[in-house]
Chain A
Amino acid sequence: MNRRQFLKIAGASTVLGLGGASAVNGFRLGVPAAARMSLDPRALTAKRWGFVVDVSRLRTEEDYQKCIDACHNIHNVPTFKNDLQHEVKWIWKENFEATFPGTEHEYMNAEFKEKKFLVFCNHCKEPACVRVCPTKATFKREDGIVMQDMHRCIGCRFCMAACPFGARSFNYLDPRGKNPDGSPLIRVQSQTYPTRTIGVVEKCIACYERLAIGQQPACVEASNGAILFGDLEDPNSEVRKVIGEKYTVRRKPELGTQPSIYYVIGGSEHA
């Protein structure tokens, strides 16, 4: 067979649905033909999920910590005491300069200089991490969530190098281990969600497992209205209303990754 014949057959069989992808996806070995796998009817769906963080509504230390704990406790994210090198985080605090680099200046409002900002995976529309992942462990879902499949992660850390927001953490140590003072790294173990192991990368997954059963992301629920979550493509959604009415900024927009977290800066009518 020459090249031309090969391409003809390959083309014809693709048209007939016999091609590679359909052969893999078309039939399943693992479950009986009569079985079905489907969405939970309660599942929340959207064209493109996004967040709005109202900076003025996060003031006390407790306001931030409630959101962080809500996330880290239900997902078994380890807390390393005084050990920044091995730190694992899905949602955390940053100062102004690290959150919006290049926009700080010497005469800046003192409050903003001191202020902390809640940051987490931006679930970018053009995610750099997805482009570099060699195993498709990280991928973009139809609804815009940048998902991380722990089963496929080989720990190469390309995604960490690619992400401009530092949203990804590598498990340098066994997350089921202990701090030097003997306390377990996972403070409150969730029995319903897995841990991770040494050697894989992890990050915020927009609580896809909660959306799947009709619940809002954990940080949103714990934030007392400071974090909103909704469909960016739906002009009537609450997030779009806020974005339409107030001045919002995104992190490092110049990089073109199109983050899906919008920060409301200085919206003092809530204060």
Chain B
Amino acid sequence: MYNGGKIIAGLAVFLAFFLFPFYYNLGKANARPELKTDTPAIREWAQKYGKKECVESKDFMRAEHMQLLNDWRDSVVRDGNRIYTNAEGRHHLMSLQNTCLNCHSNKKEFCDKCHNYMAVKPYCFNCHVEPKENKS
């Protein structure tokens, strides 16, 4: 091949650049964020009721927590309700700031981590106050 060495070297360099995004992200794109549910309030709850639990099942929460929060806020602000009784009959105060973030007080390691991964940016915390330990 005429000038074969140069062509092959050129191709190698081209491929190295062209494929850079793929091998750079190898393993990363699939690395789901690890969510920590080890907070004082959750530990306390687990001690009292024998297991770690959210206001609803984990699968439900993962898929529906935004809708649930929507309903909570309308119910609280517009109907004056404060008590949520979940599908299992357990009671929770309906509050983003005082319930969700009491248990998930590690907001940066929990809510934010997943939201960043999913590229969602809830604007709620322009008003709702974040847990103190998150202030950096």
Instruction: State in angstroms the CA–CA spacing of A31 and B83 once bound together.
Output: 13
User: CB of A271 within 8 A of chain B?
Assistant: no
Considering the complex, which residues of chain B in the window 118-135 have a beta carbon less than 8 Å from any beta carbon of chain A? 126-129, 132
Tell whether B116 is near chain A: CB-to-CB under 8 Å.
no
Identify which of A80-88, A111-119, A143-151 touches chain B: A143-151
Q: Tell me which residues across on chain B come within 8 A of A31, comparing CB atoms.
A: 56, 67-68, 71, 84
A36 to B75 CA separation, bound complex (whole angstroms): 10
Number of interface residues of A (CB under 8 A): 33
Are A197 and B126 in contact, with the CB atoms below 8 A?
yes
Task: Choose from B67, B85, B86 the contact partner of A30 (Cβ within 8 Å).
Answer: B67
CB of A109 closer than 8 Å to a CB of B: no
Residues of chain B contacted by A28 (CB below 8 angstroms): 71
| Smallest Cβ-Cβ distance to A40: which chain B residue | B82
What mask results when residues 54 to 85 of chain B are scored 1 for a CB within 8 Å of chain A, else 0?
00100010001001111111011111111111
Interface size class of B (residues with CB under 8 A): 20 to 34
Contacts of A194 in B (CB 8 A): 97, 127-129
**CB-defined contacts of B1 to chain A, threshold 8 Å:** none
- In the complex, are the beta carbons of B82 and A43 less than 8 A apart? yes
Which chain A residues lie closer than 8 Å to B84 at the CB level?
31, 35-37
Taking a contact as CB atoms closer than 8 A, the residue among B68, B80, B85, B128 that contacts A43 in the complex is B80
Q: Do the beta carbons of A192 and B98 come within 8 Å of each other?
A: yes
Q: Which residue of A lies closest to B94 (CB)?
A: A37
Q: Is the CB of B71 within 8 A of A37?
A: yes
Knowing that A30-B67, A192-B129 touch, tell me 6 more A-B residue pairs with CB under 8 angstroms. A30-B69, A31-B56, A34-B87, A37-B72, A149-B78, A197-B126
- A residues touching B (Cβ–Cβ < 8 Å)? 28-32, 34-40, 43, 76, 139, 141, 147, 149-151, 189-197, 208, 211-213
Complex A-B: 26 CB contacts under 8 Å? A28-B71, A29-B71, A31-B56, A31-B71, A31-B84, A32-B60, A32-B86, A35-B56, A35-B84, A36-B85, A37-B75, A37-B84, A38-B81, A38-B83, A39-B82, A39-B83, A40-B82, A147-B78, A150-B127, A151-B77, A192-B98, A193-B129, A194-B97, A195-B129, A196-B127, A212-B82
Smallest CB-CB A-B distances: 10 pairs: A30-B67, A30-B71, A34-B87, A194-B127, A40-B82, A32-B87, A37-B75, A36-B85, A197-B126, A37-B81
